[in-house]
Amino acid sequence: DRHAVYSRQRVDDFRHNDVASTQSARQYKDATDLICQQAEACAHLIRRLTPLECERLQGFPDGWTDIPGASDSARYKALGNSVAIPCVEFIMSRIAAALL
């Protein structure tokens, strides 16, 4: 199963990229990254990242934003307003090491 990622450059400009762009608070309204997934032998499917994929990109456990009654839009918004956990862990570990 092959995937290609297209990250958003501007409102109307998506470019092939091996790295997805960062989450944004507006993603719940507009897709910021698209994935081109080979669906069948010759067919391709263009879709936006799922909330689960966004959670994984941000370093959260699977289902972290999947609370009862939460829409996908609410989940995208929550992830867009959060920080990437691996980045925070790296920065905090460096600060802790400098203070010791």
CATH pick for 3-99 out of 3.90.120, 3.30.530, 2.40.10, 1.10.530 = 3.90.120
**Joined tokens for residue 46:** 């263009």
Contact between 77 and 29 under an 8 Å Cβ cutoff? The reply is no
What pLDDT sits at residue 71?
93
φ, ψ at 13 (rounded to 5°): -125, 110
What pLDDT sits at residue 6?
66
Q: What is the pLDDT of residues 7-61, one digit of tens each?
A: 666 656 667 766 666 555 554 455 555 566 666 655 566 677 889 988 998 999 9
Domain boundaries along the sequence of the chain: 3-99
Instruction: Provide, rounded to the nearest whole percent, the portion of the chain with pLDDT above 70.
Output: 55
* Residue 100 amino acid letter: L
